[in-house]
Amino acid sequence: MKIKQLTNKKYLLKEKARTFNGFNYKKYKENRQNNFNKLPIYWAFGEKQFQELLQKLNLQDKPEDLKKLVNIGCGGLMLKSDLPLLKNHNQTYSSDKLLFWLTHNFKFAYSAFKYEMSNHEYYYTYDITDTLQSLGLNFEDIERNAYLKLAYLRARKDYLKACNSCNY
């Protein structure tokens, strides 16, 4: 019985994604950025900023207080106690979830291809590699999935048509 229920839930999730057409790639990216901006991440790019950060967090430059901080890279610091918030964010916006939306919702995939083609100047290069890499895809993924293939072909056609209409 559990296998049947699990399969049914998976089917319902796929069906919901397939028919949920109000969600597009641009909204996905905006949501991801807005949620990231809400995280308690602090930035320090030098000793002065680091000391100001310690003061802001009511910490001192002592080993026991410094152990409360974690470096997340690129000058970003978080309290260790807040690290689960970042992990949750990364799980919510993981490449697996993006791939799920791309492979189960045509409008989402279409908007993703069109957005990333523009972002990677496909009109000038006619090289789709950067677009696919930004979406975590490759050519084989497009060939294996009907949603992706149709979305890619339509997005490419509409994108190039829009670019050509601007170049009289």
* 85 and 98 share one domain: no
The answer to whether position 24 is within a domain reads no
Tell me how many domains the chain contains: 2
pTM of this structure:
0.76
In tens, the pLDDT along 138-156 reads 999 999 988 799 999 999 9
Per-residue pLDDT of the chain (168 residues; tens, 9 = 90+): 344 444 555 555 565 555 566 778 999 999 999 999 999 999 999 999 999 999 999 999 999 999 999 999 999 999 999 999 999 999 988 898 899 889 888 889 999 999 999 998 888 888 899 999 999 999 999 999 887 999 999 999 999 998 888 765
Q: Which of 58, 90, 122 is the last residue of a domain?
A: 90
* 149 and 129 share one domain: yes
* 99 and 165 share one domain: yes
The three-state secondary structure class of 128 is coil
Q: Which of 48, 71, 90 is the last residue of a domain?
A: 90
